[in-house]
Amino acid sequence: MSKIFKRGAQIPGELKSTVNRLLSRSANRDVFSLRNKSIAVTSGKGGVGKTITAVNLSIYYARRGVSTALVDLDPLSDIATLLDIVESEAALEEQTIDMQNAGLQGLAIPVFKHLDLIFPSPKLKKLERNAMLEKIYGELPGDLDERYQLLVFDLPAGSEFEENLVFLPFMGSILLVTNPEPTAHAAAGAYIKRAFDVYHDLTINLWHNRFSPNTRSHFNPKDIVGNYNRNVPKELQIDRRVSARLRDFASIPEDPALNLLRGSPGADENVIRFLLDTLMFIHEERIATLAASTISNRSFELIKQFLSHHKTVENIDEYLDEIGRYLRILLEIQLQARPEETSGPAAAISTAEVFTPAEKKSFRIFLQKLNSDPLRRRIIRTMDLLEEKLHRLEEGKNPFAAGTAVVPDKAVDRELSALLVAVNRISRRNPRMANQGGLLLFYFSLYKLFQSQTVTELISSLVPSKTNTKGSPVRDRHRQIRNLVEGDPEYKSRYLKLLKTLHPIVSKQIANIVKTFELSALLFRDQNGSIIRSAYVKLLTNFIHDTLYSGLSVVVGFPFRCAAGAFQEGAERTLQALKQTG
């Protein structure tokens, strides 16, 4: 830690002296120990999910039994509100933290088992940064080190030294959160440039939120350095050689649980989302079936993702060019880990070189077949109707309407019924389509069942409520998050009782739909032809769990979500990297 700052770094002298002093005290055993258990969550700009990432990491580690401190250093975030700690937030609303006299007990609020929130209010001002640095690393490092196994710091957004970068030498791991869009990458690139200009030997781990590799532009969703460099003068560009000091740690796909604007979705919204997800898989399977006799391109699995997300094919030649650009971007992502190759021949592949002439001809035939396929057209039409219905629900949603019934919609019912009949017919010779059709049958049954107010109220009865300051009932989000973290035997008992009540009702609904439309090929069966009843129990359990906990801004505790799996991998990778720094 002897050479922290680069020579000539433009930083305030007072803060530079403070950092050097705090990191040099008798090798500073407490500060050094604290550093080896500290994770900084930062971003180049606001709105990319930085605070939600910090909160979810803290909850994830607390659920693992790790004593964790979530340190709120961002004056523009309000973690106490996000975690729904109403009493604590109200008590601190008009106060100012006495940096000189407050001890750890006065700065920390127990949130859940194994999790405390430190500095739980949005009142920390820019001029207090030096005092806060002194408080954490001058007065409290021993107490913090003794009390916590892990500290997660939610730093302010942006690359100002006084606000953000000053804390980096005290961190064992730095997570830079960004989104796959140009302004977020421009801000993240500016952050990287500034941090690397200030410090020696800094490593930054990249956390991609709302990530999707699908794009219809020249934008590479993982090439932060390249996207930044293309938009700044040469003297401000990041040297590509420093890419070795950047590591991709997580790519978290879009998830409604992490979208604070989604509010508290009820069963009516959630069942439509599950239907849309299932239709997306059916669409991909239909694309693969249509391609089987036409396409042999080695990259078809990647192209299939593009086709499923970009459904409209108006001009075949222009669409082929779009696919070519998409494949080039994926190639750039693969080469990003080897920066010495990104300017070589492999990175210079043109759109025309993506396909051979024979492949291009095959793709033209395939796209014509795709456009004329009646089943694919019905899938797309059904998805459009459901997306429109979901949009209307979200626009007019009461924030606490978990018991709202599904409004009957004859057009949606007609298209879904016809699609099920078509899938049932095809599934007799395509087992993969049969599995997806079975899911569609299950969620269509729920969709019809949730047109009953009585049924939806059964589910909403498990959503804990409280009275807000205006005297109105609102969702008790803190209690729900605590249930995810700590578990609650009484709640679990009520949850199991709900499952036992709903399961026979759902089974009867499925049986009626199968009989009405002759869909027996879509029932889940074992090798002996017997119905796999446990599969329906599992599907129902997952759906109810997802419905009850959606909209909490918490993704941990959802084992069957793609975002939850990706988040767990990133959290474990972060923990492993932190152990290696020690």
Confidence (pLDDT) at 322:
80
Residues 293 and 410 in one domain: yes
Identify the weakest region by mean pLDDT among 75-89, 200-214, 354-368. Answer: 75-89
Q: How confident is the model at residue 569 (pLDDT cuts 50, 70, 90)?
A: very high
Q: Cα separations (Å) of 284 from 291, 306, 379, 439, 462?
A: 11, 10, 10, 15, 36
Evaluate if pTM is beyond 0.95: no
Residues 459/270, Cβ–Cβ less than 8 Å: no
Identify the weakest region by mean pLDDT among 87-91, 104-108, 291-295, 316-320. Answer: 87-91
CA separation for the pair 546, 262 (Å, rounded): 14
Instruction: Indicate whether 463 belongs to any domain.
Output: yes
Spell out where 101-215 has E strands: 108-112, 115-118, 150-154, 173-178, 204-208
Confidence (pLDDT) at 350:
41
Q: How confident is the model at residue 86 (pLDDT cuts 50, 70, 90)?
A: low
Identify the weakest region by mean pLDDT among 179-193, 299-313, 336-350. Answer: 336-350
Residue 282 has pLDDT above 90, yes or no: yes
Residues 405 and 272 in one domain: yes
Instruction: Indicate whether 325 belongs to any domain.
Output: yes
Provide mean pLDDT across the span 531-548. 90
Identify the weakest region by mean pLDDT among 40-44, 195-199, 397-401. Answer: 397-401
Kindly give the pairing relationship between strand 173-178 and strand 38-43: parallel
Kindly give the pairing relationship between strand 38-43 and strand 246-251: unpaired
Q: Which two tokens stand for residue 216?
A: 């219809």
Residues 197 and 313 in one domain: no
- Starting at the earlier edge strand, list the strands of the sheet with 108-112: 108-112, 115-118, 68-72, 150-154, 38-43, 173-178, 204-208, 246-251
pLDDT digits (tens, 9 = 90+) for 469-491: 788 888 888 888 888 788 788 88
How big is the CA angle at 405 (ends 402 and 408), to the nearest 5 degrees?
150
Instruction: Indicate whether 178 belongs to any domain.
Output: yes
- H/E segment holding residue 444: helix 431-449
Range of the domain at 349: 298-354
CATH number at residue 207: 3.40.50.300
DSSP character string of 383-430: HHHHHHHHHHHHHT--TT-TTPPPPP-HHHHHHHHHHHHHHHHHHTS-
Residues 236 and 306 in one domain: no
Residues 398 and 493 in one domain: yes
pLDDT digits (tens, 9 = 90+) for 439-470: 999 999 999 998 888 888 888 888 888 887 78
Confidence (pLDDT) at 479:
87
What percentage of the chain reaches a pLDDT higher than 90? 37
pLDDT digits (tens, 9 = 90+) for 116-171: 999 765 445 554 667 788 888 988 999 999 999 999 999 999 998 888 999 999 99
**Neighbouring-strand partners of residue 40:** 153, 174
Residues 419 and 289 in one domain: yes
Residue 206 has pLDDT above 70, yes or no: yes
Give a three-class secondary structure readout of 260-314.
HHHCCCCHHHHHHHHHHHHHHHHHHHHHHHHHCCCCCCCCHHHHHHHHHHCCCCC
CA separation for the pair 358, 296 (Å, rounded): 10
Q: How many domains does the chain have?
A: 3
Measured in whole angstroms, the distance separating CA 372 from the mean position of its chain's CA atoms is 36
Confidence (pLDDT) at 50:
95
CA separation for the pair 476, 83 (Å, rounded): 10
Angle (deg, nearest 10), helices 489-517 and 453-460: 150
Rg (CA), the chain: 27
CA atoms within 13 A on the CB side of 455: 20
Residues 306 and 385 in one domain: no
CA separation for the pair 327, 330 (Å, rounded): 5
Instruction: Indicate whether 144 belongs to any domain.
Output: yes
Residues 502/267, Cβ–Cβ less than 8 Å: no
Residues 446 and 333 in one domain: no
Residues 165 and 304 in one domain: no
Residues 386 and 518 in one domain: yes
Identify the weakest region by mean pLDDT among 37-51, 143-157, 351-365, 536-550. Answer: 351-365
Instruction: Indicate whether 203 belongs to any domain.
Output: yes
Q: Which two tokens stand for residue 196?
A: 């690397």
Residues 506/540, Cβ–Cβ less than 8 Å: yes
Among candidate residues 211, 235, 214, 564, the one with its CA nearest the CA of residue 224: 211
Residues 306 and 429 in one domain: no
Confidence (pLDDT) at 88:
42
Instruction: Indicate whether 565 belongs to any domain.
Output: no
pLDDT digits (tens, 9 = 90+) for 319-372: 888 877 777 766 665 454 444 444 443 343 443 456 777 778 888 888 888 888
Contacts (Cβ under 8 Å, ≥6 apart) of 107: 97, 118, 119
Residues 157 and 208 in one domain: yes
CA separation for the pair 281, 213 (Å, rounded): 17
Instruction: Indicate whether 568 belongs to any domain.
Output: no
Q: Cα separations (Å) of 149 from 23, 34, 110, 214, 567?
A: 20, 9, 15, 39, 20
Give a three-class secondary structure readout of 542-573.
HHHHHHHHCCCCCCCCCCCCHHHHHHHHHHHH
